[in-house]
Structure 1
Amino acid sequence: MLQIAICDDNNSELLQIKQIVEKFKASHSSKYNIKCETFSSSLDLLMSMENGLSYDLLILDVVMPLMTGIEVATEIRKKNNLSKIIFLTSSREFAVDSYNVDAFYYLLKPIIEEGLIPILEKACADIAVEKEKGILVKCKTCLTKILLHNLEYTEVLGRTLFFHLTSGEVLESYGTMSQLENDLLRDKRFIKPHRSYIVNMDCIHRLTDKAIITFSDKPIPISRELFKNIKQAYIDYSFNG
């Protein structure tokens, strides 16, 4: 399932955007199982996410009452660094701000099908690839595939590997960190800040001079000699992907 949310306080524009997304959905039904929801209020969108709904792709109007699209995205990024965000606006003045919340695209209104469809193509293709990547792990009772976008971080204690998932679940496996590095560090999302940890940068809430704080509020230590490289890697990934 690929979940898309559209938020625009102008109902006619909201309907127009939804019609384009629905047309894209119909023409790509063999590739993606898309579900689309619409919101005419930024607060309603945030409330739905507070209640447990999550979206792979968010299409946000920038200029809205109560909260701008940039402010909505800022709130979302406090807990979710995975969703792709497309901003829609009639002005270029917020373009720089959109980069601060890792926007996927910034599209000027009026929105036309020929402008939005190619962006949807690229966003959905990227999301699908990220969802499918995974590693095969032999746990105590079974062999399981862990999708990389669901993996927050891994740690090793002795000869036991712990896989901490974004759901809060923790899987255990017998092995070494060096074996795991071959699978994870070739993916640009992952970094090794300490000999005992590998972290998914999409799950980093903030970076201090001593630790990475994940969205689950877990502090991951950063080796002193690695801090400069880890900081630069995170900056590069945040701005360039």
Structure 2
Amino acid sequence: MVKIAICDDDEQDLKRAAAHCLAFAANHVGHELRISTFQDAKSLLSHIDEQDGFDILLMDIYMPTITGIDLATFLRKRNDECEIIFLTSSENHAIEAFSLNATHYLLKPYTQEHFESAMEKALAQLERRKSALFTLKSSLGIHKILFADFLYAETDMHMQNIHLVDGTVLSIRMTSNALHEMLSHDRRFYKCGSTYIINLEKIREVTVRTVVLDTKEHLHLQRRQYKTLIERYTQYSLKGE
């Protein structure tokens, strides 16, 4: 199931984008799409806060109160990695949009062909992110671990206890440095001292002494680790290098 949100204050443009989505779904029967529509950024944000996020966000830029750029900036600061496709009548914000890691920037009026090209790119990026994995060997056998399932690893003597989002803990005999080397090509993984390797995508809150994860687990930090972690987390959230 791919969850799609369309946000546009112009009712006709909103209906047009929804129609393009339905046509796309008819032409791509292998993908199950769930489409939600919103006429302002506030109602979209309320839905995300109260219920759940979206995989793909189709969004106008010029909207009252909160612009599409403002909303995208806010979502990225919260580490929301949804694929964003801007639908707009102006070229003026293209550079700003892509600095927010937008998937595409469609100028109105756009064709079904252009719309489908943008959607196919978004789906391909979703698939790459969800299917990335690495392989480890333990005394229990071979484990293929999706990056998206990795929560954090904690060093215990000569073992790495790898915590997954479903509550599973795998104990692997290897060093923290060796595990981090396997993961370091992906920007979401951060080695915090000699104790933790943390999936930055799963962080909900960082304080001077604690990291709170999406699972509500608390990891305890040394005060000196805070500055480096918060800088790295901010870079990741804003898609900086």
Asked if Structure 1 and Structure 2 have the same fold, meaning a TM-score greater than 0.5 normalized by the shorter chain, the answer is: yes
User: What's 2:18 paired with?
Assistant: 18
Letter of the 2:239 partner, please give it: S
Query: Does structure 1 conserve the Cα–Cα contact (< 8 Å) formed by 2:56 and 2:84?
Result: yes
User: What's 2:2 paired with?
Assistant: 2
Letter of the 1:238 partner, please give it: K
Task: Give me the whole-angstrom Cα distance separating, in 2, the residues matched to 1:163 and 1:42.
Answer: 38
Task: Give me the whole-angstrom Cα distance separating, in 1, the residues matched to 2:82 and 2:205.
Answer: 17
User: What's 1:238 paired with?
Assistant: 239
Matched, 1:78 2:77: yes
Letter of the 1:70 partner, please give it: I
Letter of the 2:17 partner, please give it: I
Task: Give me the whole-angstrom Cα distance separating, in 2, the residues matched to 1:103 and 1:214.
Answer: 27
Query: Does structure 2 conserve the Cα–Cα contact (< 8 Å) formed by 1:139 and 1:171?
Result: no
Structure 1 residues 104, 220: CA separation in 2 closer, same or farther (over 3 Å shift)?
farther
Q: Secondary structure at the match of 2:59?
A: strand
Query: Does structure 2 conserve the Cα–Cα contact (< 8 Å) formed by 1:62 and 1:88?
Result: yes
Task: Give me the whole-angstrom Cα distance separating, in 2, the residues matched to 1:163 and 1:96.
Answer: 39
Offset from partner CA, 1:40-63 (integer Å, 9 cap, x none): 121111111111312111111111
User: What's 2:54 paired with?
Assistant: 55
Offset from partner CA, 1:165-213 (integer Å, 9 cap, x none): 5x69573424322453454234454354544433445457899xx9997
Structure 1 residues 169, 7: CA separation in 2 closer, same or farther (over 3 Å shift)?
farther
User: What's 1:175 paired with?
Assistant: 173
Task: Give me the whole-angstrom Cα distance separating, in 2, the residues matched to 1:171 and 1:17.
Answer: 43
Offset from partner CA, 1:81-131 (integer Å, 9 cap, x none): 321111121112223332443322222212221222111111101101211
Percent sequence identity is 29
Matched, 1:133 2:137: no
Moved more, 189-198 or 96-105: 189-198
Matched, 1:109 2:70: no
Number of residue-to-residue matches in the alignment: 234
Letter of the 1:15 partner, please give it: K
Task: Give me the whole-angstrom Cα distance separating, in 1, the residues matched to 2:48 and 2:98.
Answer: 22
Give TM-score, length-normalised by structure 2.
0.74
Deviation for aligned residue 1:154:
2.8
Q: Secondary structure at the match of 1:238?
A: coil
Task: Give me the whole-angstrom Cα distance separating, in 2, the residues matched to 1:63 and 1:219.
Answer: 43
Letter of the 2:42 partner, please give it: L
Task: Give me the whole-angstrom Cα distance separating, in 1, the residues matched to 2:178 and 2:155.
Answer: 11
Deviation for aligned residue 1:137:
6.4
User: What's 1:87 paired with?
Assistant: 86
Task: Give me the whole-angstrom Cα distance separating, in 1, the residues matched to 2:144 and 2:39.
Answer: 38
Query: Does structure 1 conserve the Cα–Cα contact (< 8 Å) formed by 2:138 and 2:173?
Result: no
Deviation for aligned residue 1:36:
1.8
Where structure 2 has 5 or more consecutive residues not aligned to the other structure, the ranges are: none
Query: Does structure 2 conserve the Cα–Cα contact (< 8 Å) formed by 1:60 and 1:87?
Result: yes
